[in-house]
Amino acid sequence: MMKRKIVFLIPDLSLGGAQRQCLELASALSKYSCYQVSIVTFRHSGEMLHLAHDHQLEIQNLGFSSGFDIRNSIKLRKYLIETNSRILVTWLHSADVIGFFATRFMKVKWIVNERDSFYPLRIRYIARIICCAFASSIIANSLQGVSYWKRKYFWKNVSLVNNIVKPQELSTASNVYDVIFGGRFTTQKRAVETAVILENLVRAKPHLRVAMVGDGEHFNQVRDVFGDSIGLENVDLIGYSIRFREILGSSKTLISLSSHEGAPNVVLEGLAQGVVPILSDIPEHVAIVGSDYPFLISDITEIEEVVQLVLLAISTEDRRFMEKGNEYLRQCQPNLVALNAIKVFEEGVS
């Protein structure tokens, strides 16, 4: 039986939730004998390339570093024709725009993968919205992401497909950090506000250890908040690390105060390893842990109150409040997510 060719298009395989999920879903789909999955990138770069090789996934590089270089669409179109690909799944904004141009007047089902739920009114995002009007389907990893597109194109098929989170063995190692932040240092992630909270925490309780792992436009501001505390025994400021899962698993709590999300991959990874999440009370977080979760923060400007809540999360022993999150994780098993994705991929494909 001839295998059906599915192509995933993503700018690169750098460290990030979208890149990891792209690899996880490609790997899960490749276990079905009727599918042949390949990943196409704009540029041959990324710390996660080794994971693609571990999963024995085919990687094709288009060779143009700019995500919005129109030559990417020409080379992608040629690749889709040569490989007789029937399904294209695009990941991240520039890939969506390139996917639009590459699939015009072709019998290829083009599926957009939504990873967030809010975007500012900038030209690149407006262009993406216009392009995605021509997508065959849209899959989102959160109900808020589904609503985002339904408000724009109510007639379009928009489906919820969860992130893949593999079951993890709970770490038995001693805790390296009491609180950890992981992700991009951006306004959306409220990295600077988080740094202020953690700086107040270690000033009040110098024996505690905290770390912020990642990089981004606000890296220097975060560094300035901690000042001379960085490099001492209780504060670590770490760039992107391929060891993040290991670091996360040996931490007591995870703090994520994002203003909006899709399905927050770091939060799900933390839950899978038994790490207590301290979260902003945005709908995307509440959907995972439940509205009665004790460590939801509604006002991050109330520094002292937030610090006290963090201290309570660090010291808590009873983990029954995490059951709702564990229930959510059961819907994120690779086989279940792959089957839900296949339903979308196969609809209307001859």
Residues 6+ apart with CB under 8 A from 270: 248, 251, 254, 276, 277
The whole-number pLDDT of residue 299 equals 96
Strand order in the sheet with 210-213: 235-238, 210-213, 177-182, 251-256, 276-280, 296-297
The whole-number pLDDT of residue 231 equals 65
Task: Note the pLDDT tens digit of each residue in 279-289.
Answer: 999 999 999 99
Let me know: does 43 contact 65? Beta carbons within 8 Å. Answer: yes
Let me know: does 264 contact 285? Beta carbons within 8 Å. Answer: yes
The whole-number pLDDT of residue 157 equals 94
For residues 49-75, average pLDDT:
85
Residues 6+ apart with CB under 8 A from 291: none
Q: pLDDT grade, residue 169 (50/70/90)?
A: low
The whole-number pLDDT of residue 3 equals 80
Select the more confidently predicted residue: 227 or 314: 314
Task: Note the pLDDT tens digit of each residue in 80-121.
Answer: 999 999 999 999 999 999 999 999 999 999 999 999 999 999
Does the pLDDT of residue 229 top 80, yes or no?
no
What span, in angstroms and rounded, lies between the C-alpha atoms of 226 and 221? Answer: 9
For residues 23-41, average pLDDT:
91
The whole-number pLDDT of residue 172 equals 58
Does the pLDDT of residue 249 top 70, yes or no?
yes
For residues 111-134, average pLDDT:
95
All domains in the chain, ordered by first residue: 4-164+333-346 (3.40.50.2000), 177-330 (3.40.50.2000)
Does the pLDDT of residue 241 top 60, yes or no?
yes
The whole-number pLDDT of residue 174 equals 66
CA dihedral 95, 145, 17, 133 (to 10 degrees): -10
Indicate the average pLDDT of the chain.
92
The whole-number pLDDT of residue 171 equals 61
Does the pLDDT of residue 50 top 80, yes or no?
no
For residues 180-185, average pLDDT:
95
Q: Three-state SS string across the chain, please?
A: CCCEEEEEEECCCCCCHHHHHHHHHHHHHHCCCCEEEEEEECCCCCCCHHHHHHCCCEEEECCCCCCCCCHHHHHHHHHHHHCCCCEEEEECHHHHHHHHHHCCCCCCEEEEEECCCCCCCCHHHHHHHHHHCCCCEEEECCHHHHHHHHCCCCCCCEEECCCCCCCCCCCCCCCCEEEEEECCCCCCCCHHHHHHHHHHHHHHCCCCCEEEECCCCCHHHHHHHHHHHCCCCCEEEECCCCCHHHHHHCEEEEEECCCCCCCCHHHHHHHHCCCEEEEECCHHHHHHHCCCCCCEECCCCCHHHHHHHHHHHHHCCCCHHHHHHHHHHHCCCHHHHHHHHHHHHHCCCC
Task: Note the pLDDT tens digit of each residue in 300-338.
Answer: 999 999 999 999 999 998 889 999 999 999 999 999 999
Does the pLDDT of residue 221 top 70, yes or no?
yes
The whole-number pLDDT of residue 240 equals 86
Does the pLDDT of residue 255 top 70, yes or no?
yes
The whole-number pLDDT of residue 209 equals 95
What span, in angstroms and rounded, lies between the C-alpha atoms of 311 and 316? Answer: 9
Give the torsion sign (CA, 231, 237, 242, 248). Answer: positive
pTM of the model: 0.91
What span, in angstroms and rounded, lies between the C-alpha atoms of 342 and 182? Answer: 31
